[in-house]
Structure 1
Amino acid sequence: MAAEESVRRQQPSDCDGGNCLTSDEAIIAQQDRIQQEIAGHTPLLSERLELSVLYQEYAPEDQVYQDKIKDLHRRYNHIRRTRPDGNCFYRAFGFSYLEALLGGGPELTRFKEVSLHSKDELIRQGFTEFTIEDFHNTFMDLIAIVEKRPTISELLAAFNEQTVSDYVVVYLRLLTSGHLQKDSIFYQHFIEGGRSVKEFCQQEVEPMCKESDHIHIIALSQALNVSIQVEYMDRGDGGTTVAHVFPEGSDPPQVFLLYRPGHYDILYK
């Protein structure tokens, strides 16, 4: 998070005509350096940590956040951090849900069936089979690993392997895009800037490192029929976090995430 803030602080505030390109190139190069620094020091997913580590991220006199962490601590005991690279929602969701399925049972069977047929659904919507096949295969391979009931450490190791983890993120992005476009008449009302749903997906959903908002979470939760509870923690009024469940009214949640502006982590009760 500090690195992300560093990008914002160091970016030029403006540029004149002849210097814009140079300025943009400098910003991109700086962002690349910072992302490399993050990658060198931050795993894609951390070990499970005591929730109390959050207190250390904010000054003791920062009463707003200290109170909200205290409120969060009444309901959750642990947290698992994700790398702040713009893919954190998908990575956090993917790991948390598969972790919940390690015990096997009908939910794993259902999810495997949905995932197996999801590629054909995407192809029917116009996605190219050649483009999505490798991502789908990796996704199904990971589900096959979960069927063998590995330890949490083994699942974590798989998710911390960059290629595997990124392929899972890509496929979850494709599923999100597919659902948004499938129900474009409904989702069009939530898209600003005069863009079509397809344009929004091409610009804000499918590319890696694009951050996620409500619309992404709603679409993915509906596409996979998985209930997600997100605890929102920001500087808003009140000393409590605000919980939202996606899809609305679904119960009980199977995945619990913590959202702080621009970032998602995994929560555990």
Structure 2
Amino acid sequence: MAAEESDRLQSECDGETRGVNCLTYDEAIIAQQDRIQQEIAGHTPLLSDRLDLSVLYQEYAPDDQIYQDKIKDLHRRYTYIRRTRPDGNCFYRAFGYSYLEALLDGGSELERFKEVALRSKEELIRQGFTEFTIEDFHNTFMDLIALVEKRPAASELLAAFNEQTVSDYVVVYLRLLTSGHLQRETVFYQHFIEGGRSVKEFCQQEVEPMCKESDHIHIIALSQALNVSIQVEYMDRGEGGSTVTHVFPEGSDPQVFLLYRPGHYDILYK
């Protein structure tokens, strides 16, 4: 029905009535997207409980040999999966939760990360980000680190990440950290920006806004900004019976493990 409505409105954008009806079409598409997001939100938590990886088999037809083989390969190396809501923020949410969960045991890595997080606000301000704008997001980020320092049960951290405001504030701050790093290293990253845009324009359009999906450049930048190693298993319809593994930065010892399927990231566990 949604597709039929979209086609009907698009047809009205052709011909003599294009000007007025195209506005109607744009508004209808925005409303349709909002309804889809609301429906997803009503049925899908921001982060699920930890699930046996075998649940992936049920997502594809038994005779879909490409994906069934790749899931088998994935199952040889991983045991569990934690789903994230497919809202365009899944990379940052998956990274944020997975890394903080890994720090629940405390130790020197937690202390190092706390220092990096504390300094990050002033670094962003020196780059031109407005303190008033980023302060609340940074405070929420530090509050979660303080929670991790208390070494709570993983369920308590998960509950915090499933609170929409808290979780979204963390996503926003991780996006700002990614943007800040990209702009500090403009000379390097400019070579990877398409469409004739500057790094700053790319950040304003593709990094900082919520619900914008993430690609290699975002992962590399966040990994380097926080000095955290991320391993991503890429699973698509490409040839071969195994997923393609990328570690960011290359050659490092991964602390976060993610599964990527076109347009979406979930958390993996050994």
TM-score tier by shorter-chain length is over 0.9
Q: Structure 1 residue 195: deviation in Å?
A: 0.3
Q: Map Cα deviations across residues 92-127 of structure 1 (whole Å, 9 max, x no partner).
A: 000000000000000000000000000000000000
CA contact (8 A) 2:50 2:82 kept: yes
Give, in whole Å, the separation in 1 of the partners of 2:268 and 2:5. 23
Q: 1:197 to 1:83 in 2, by over 3 A?
A: same
Pairing partner for 2:169 from 164, 167, 170: 167
Q: Equivalent residue for 2:3? A: 3
Q: CA deviation at 1:5?
A: 15
CA apart distance, 1:3: 12
Percent identity, aligned pairs only, is 90
CA 1:64/1:47 → structure 2, altered by over 3 Å: closer, same or farther? same
Runs of 4+ aligned structure 1 residues displaced above 3 Å come to 1-6
Q: 1:118-141 deviations in whole A, cap 9, x for unaligned? A: 000000000000000000000000
Q: 1:156: Cα distance to partner?
A: 0.2
RMSD (CA atoms): 2.3
Q: 1:68 aligns with which of 70, 77, 95?
A: 70
CA distance in 2 between partners of 1:35 and 1:92 (Å): 18
Instruction: Check 1:256–1:4 CA distance in 2 against 1; reply closer, same or farther (3 A cut).
Output: farther
TM-score by length of 2: 0.94
Q: What's the CA shift for 1:14?
A: 8.8
Q: Distance in 2 between matches of 1:204 and 1:24?
A: 21
Structure 2 unmatched runs, 5+: 16-20
Structure 1 contact 175–220 (Cα < 8 Å) conserved: yes
| Cα distance change on mapping 1:5 and 1:180 into 2, 3 Å | farther
The answer (yes or no) to whether the contact 2:140–2:170 under 8 Å persists in 1 is: yes
Deviation at 1:16, TM superposition (A): 2.3
Q: After superposition, what is the alpha-carbon deviation per residue over 1:135-179, rounded to whole angstroms, capped at 9, x for unaligned?
A: 000000000000000000000000000000000000000000000
Q: Which residue of 2 aligns with 1:14?
A: 12
- Which of 1 and 2 has greater Rg? 2
Which residue in 1 is equivalent to 2:260? 259
Q: Which residue of 1 aligns with 2:115?
A: 113
Whether the 8 Å contact between 1:104 and 1:147 is mirrored in structure 2 is: yes
Q: Is the contact between residue 94 and residue 258 of structure 2 (CA under 8 Å) also seen in structure 1?
A: yes
Residues 3 and 88 of structure 1, relative CA distance in 2, 3 Å threshold: farther
Q: Distance in 1 between matches of 2:237 and 2:5?
A: 16
Equivalents in 1 of 2:122, 2:4: separation in Å? 38
What's the CA shift for 1:248? 1.7
Q: Which runs of 5+ in 1 are unaligned?
A: 7-12
